[in-house]
Amino acid sequence: MQSKSIVLVSVFVVLLAGITYGGENANSDVMATGPDEIQKKLKEFWVNTYDMPAAQSSATLIRELLAKASPDECYFGIGDARNDFSPGLDPDSCRAEGGVPKVNQAYVWGLAKSGDGLWFGTAPNVNCLVNGGYLASTEAYENEFQVCEFGSGPYSPPIPAAAGDWRPARFFVYNLRDKTLTEKTPLDPKVIQTTGIRSAGTLGNVVFLAGPAMSQEGGINLFAFNTETGDYLGSNTLLDYNNIRKWLVADGILYTAVGAEGGGAILRWMGDANDPFQFEEVGKIDADGAELAHHEGRIYVSTWGLEAGIWMSPEIPMSGLTSADSTSWTKVWKMSDYDPDPVSAATTGGGAVASFDGYLYWGTMHVPLFALRVFTMVYGTPADSAAYISAFLGTYRAISIFRGRNFGTEEQEVDVLYGLAELPAYDPETGWDIVPNNLGKEPLYGFSGFNNVFNNYTWTMAVYENQLFVGTMDWSFLLGEDLLDLAGDLPIDLVWNEFGADLFRFPSSLSPAFPEFVDGVGNYSNYGVRTMLADDALYIGSANPMNLMTDLTDDRPEGGWELMRLTKEPGCWGGDRGDVNSDGAFNVLDVVSTVRHILGIALLVDDGLCLADCNDDGAIDAYDVLGIVDVILGTGACAPGACNAKLTPAALEFLKTLDSYLSAEDYDRFMVLVKEALTPAEYRLAQNYPNPFNPVTTIEYSLPKTSKVKAEVFNVLGQIVKVLVDGEQEPGNYKVRWDGKDAASGVYFYRIDADNFSATKRMVLMK
């Protein structure tokens, strides 16, 4: 595999931190002095912070794949003159010629729904374009997942090497009624001047697909369609603006946020199907407008720029905002209100923003290594490797999630939901130190990145079925097998949260977020939930730049964008299970209510029955009580497939507190039920997880009685690869892990023999 150049620097740093130092002796109260001491201190800070089990998907939503990018180029190698961009490519013909089908269209970068139609535009090879544009990395590379050609691409020159992987954008509409995908790319010269359709918005019978122009004049290219007839209404370029990301309908009026010279602006659409390109500027802000939300009678906008933050409009009159309101916007929060390091704060972008349960929620965006690049521009290139590593560790950030209310008043409050109480900060006089965040607040629910250090972009938010969904970008798959090759003896849970973008769900403002998916929403090569909208379902467009993953015969998913529909199953949300009395909190009262129901003292009714069925098995029993305790103790989730149901020492201590609520007789009766429930009724061998895996997987099995157990891993030739267990074990549920770091990619089998019981299952190691 060829080098990924600058991108790989980060994983060396993070992993070496665990391998070298183990992260056991961090002391943020002591100021390090020498370069090696500073480096060690910063390494220990990150390792200690993320030394926790990886999240597991609760998956309470039903996933349906609506449409998928198809190969559009026959690829023969970097710079090969035979490389042929050809939408409608026949993959078999390409392979017959000795080429590899390549799928350039990577992102659903704009998505809007009108009637039965999902209108969207795509963008090509965006990871390559980001590496070239943000990180100035233009060294061509290829691995088994993707290729970035940069200056060796067929369009460079005249296109600069940084943008050499550009391909024309494509437009589509998916008909939900007919389940058909129709390409709508117009024969318009402006289409080939865009890097990709970065946004989509609709109102009435008009839908816009828009993106920044690549022409020398710059501007924003807008393309309009009639959603009723499907007719193309033409295109226009807004030369006064330079970027556009999201659109918002507020009180029946369509708005969008854009970038402008020296700042940004909010535009209101004033046109119709006969004259679609009429806009009025109704807001001026100090940086590129990114995301918008309608919250308590105002519009809030997150921004990108040297001082990213949140801007608030004046109260929206019944007739909507006008140009008279353009100078009445207020910046109510900025990144430096939280992050104490000036470079890190300045290189943080505003992420998704949403109104939910009385609060405004928002997140952040961080291009990996961009802050390090800016650090070297501000303070000069670090003197040696230790100082360089320290600069990376000091400026790196996973996403933070905030919420606030009462903006612009003396009662304004901002909470850190997922973030860090202390952060690295640099002083040119004294160097690096670990200092409190500028809000002086602990995160309410967890660490930055939803406890996943690789979540670097809060890409999208949407409220569906009264729940707030947050989609992220998880960049770990870009590191591929190198992540695990470098891991060495590092505890795998420290860096392993499964490849693929995460989708989290907040049930209410009183609850932490539950992980719906941490695997790219069913495709681990989807590194981003790029865009999302809520209607009769939750519609998602993915970001997936793995342009060489096109082999339908292998055991890997395919690269390129995906369009998905997620729908809620009837009944409770999995993450709400455990809040038996529906008071928005998980506490001893929920346990008491469930125990009393199990014992027949006081029966639950209506939704309480659903909420108490923690593991969604149709029965309310001791397993559910222990699942609720897991949530309260922070040791697990109360959701289908996520309830671990173990009587741990911490759980036992918690259950002893029931003495204050139950009689001694009732408590003893319940504990008998717990012990009976935790003794398996039969032998069982479960499917390993994750599967496919790289290189560690977990195998679970159950023993109803004391048994002599042998558990082994075999290859396809029947040869024993690893003996996992060989000895006598007591009744219970067991887990064993296999680390396949020394094994080749492929299919393996694992078998358990216990007394007269024997079972075998298949698993796939993917490197």
Condensed to tens digits (0 to 9), the pLDDT of residues 122-180 reads: 999 999 998 888 778 899 999 889 999 999 988 888 888 988 998 988 999 999 999 99
- What is the three-class DSSP state of 708? strand
Nearest to 224 by CA among 105, 110, 301, 320: 110
Q: Do residues 52 and 493 touch, judged by C-beta distance below 8 A?
A: yes
638 and 704 share a domain?
A: no
Q: Of 677, 701, 728, which residue constitutes the final position of a domain?
A: 677
Does residue 245 form part of some domain? Answer: no
C-alpha dist (Å) from residue 632 to 531, 560, 587: 33, 40, 6
Does residue 623 form part of some domain? Answer: yes
pLDDT of the residue at 487:
40
What mean pLDDT comes out for the span 20-36? 44
Q: Is 234 left (phi over 0), alpha (psi -120 to 50) or beta?
A: left
C-alpha dist (Å) from residue 141 to 7, 165, 423: 12, 12, 34
Does residue 596 form part of some domain? Answer: yes
Q: Do residues 481 and 767 touch, judged by C-beta distance below 8 A?
A: yes
DSSP code at position 147:
E
Least confident of 342-356, 504-518, 740-754: 504-518
Q: Where does the pLDDT of residue 22 fall: very low under 50, low under 70, confident under 90, or very high at 90 and above?
A: very low
Bridge-partner residues for 226, per DSSP?
206
Nearest to 43 by CA among 66, 71, 20: 20
Residue 616 has pLDDT above 90, yes or no: no
Q: Do residues 281 and 266 touch, judged by C-beta distance below 8 A?
A: yes
Q: Is 327 left (phi over 0), alpha (psi -120 to 50) or beta?
A: alpha
- What is the three-class DSSP state of 249? strand
643 and 729 share a domain?
A: no
pLDDT of the residue at 643:
66
Does residue 528 form part of some domain? Answer: no
Does residue 552 form part of some domain? Answer: no
What mean pLDDT comes out for the span 172-195? 90
The answer for residues whose C-beta is within 8 angstroms of residue 92's C-beta and 6 or more apart is none
630 and 653 share a domain?
A: yes
Q: Do residues 217 and 238 touch, judged by C-beta distance below 8 A?
A: no
pLDDT of the residue at 496:
45
Q: Where does the pLDDT of residue 29 fall: very low under 50, low under 70, confident under 90, or very high at 90 and above?
A: very low
> Rounded to the nearest 5°, which phi and psi values hold at 164?
-65, -15
Q: Do residues 493 and 483 touch, judged by C-beta distance below 8 A?
A: no
Q: Do residues 648 and 635 touch, judged by C-beta distance below 8 A?
A: yes
Per residue in 37-91, pLDDT tens?
888 888 888 878 887 766 777 777 999 999 999 999 999 999 999 998 999 899 9
668 and 592 share a domain?
A: yes
Q: In whole numbers, what is the pLDDT of the chain averaged over residues?
A: 87
Tell me which of 531 and 20 has the higher pLDDT.
531
702 and 737 share a domain?
A: yes
Per residue in 676-686, pLDDT tens?
877 888 899 98
What mean pLDDT comes out for the span 555-581? 86
* Structural domain of 649: 574-677
Does residue 258 form part of some domain? Answer: no
C-alpha dist (Å) from residue 527 to 93, 441, 476: 29, 30, 8
Residue 490 has pLDDT above 80, yes or no: no
647 and 624 share a domain?
A: yes
Does residue 590 form part of some domain? Answer: yes
Residue 257 has pLDDT above 80, yes or no: yes
691 and 745 share a domain?
A: yes
pLDDT of the residue at 527:
95
Task: Report the predicted TM-score, pTM, of the whole model to 2 decimal places.
Answer: 0.78
Structure tokens at 542: 């993915």
Structure tokens at 492: 């795998």
Q: Do residues 108 and 122 touch, judged by C-beta distance below 8 A?
A: yes
Q: Where does the pLDDT of residue 495 fall: very low under 50, low under 70, confident under 90, or very high at 90 and above?
A: very low
Residue 720 sits in a domain whose CATH number is 2.60.40.1930
Least confident of 4-13, 40-49, 541-550, 583-592: 4-13
Does residue 652 form part of some domain? Answer: yes
Residue 597 has pLDDT above 90, yes or no: yes
Angle at 371 between CA 300 and CA 482, to 5 degrees: 115
What mean pLDDT comes out for the span 738-753? 92
C-alpha dist (Å) from residue 26 to 11, 39, 392, 494: 20, 11, 18, 16
Cis? peptide before 695, omega within 30° of 0: yes
642 and 698 share a domain?
A: no
Q: Of 644, 677, 710, which residue constitutes the final position of a domain?
A: 677
H or E stretch including 199? Answer: strand 199-203
Q: Of 677, 706, 722, which residue constitutes the final position of a domain?
A: 677
606 and 621 share a domain?
A: yes
C-alpha dist (Å) from residue 170 to 89, 173, 510, 564: 15, 11, 42, 18
C-alpha dist (Å) from residue 648 to 244, 651, 654, 674, 681: 52, 5, 10, 12, 20
- What is the three-class DSSP state of 704? coil
H or E stretch including 182? Answer: strand 180-183
Domains contained in the chain, number: 2
Structure tokens at 529: 């939930």
DSSP one-letter string for 3-30:
--THHHHHHHHHHHHHHHHTT----TTS
704 and 673 share a domain?
A: no
Bridge-partner residues for 211, per DSSP?
221
Q: Where does the pLDDT of residue 197 fall: very low under 50, low under 70, confident under 90, or very high at 90 and above?
A: confident
Give the 3-state secondary structure of 251-305: CCEEEEEEEECCEEEEEEECCCCCCCCCEEEEEEECCEEEEEEEECCEEEEEEEC
640 and 712 share a domain?
A: no
665 and 752 share a domain?
A: no
pLDDT of the residue at 480:
60
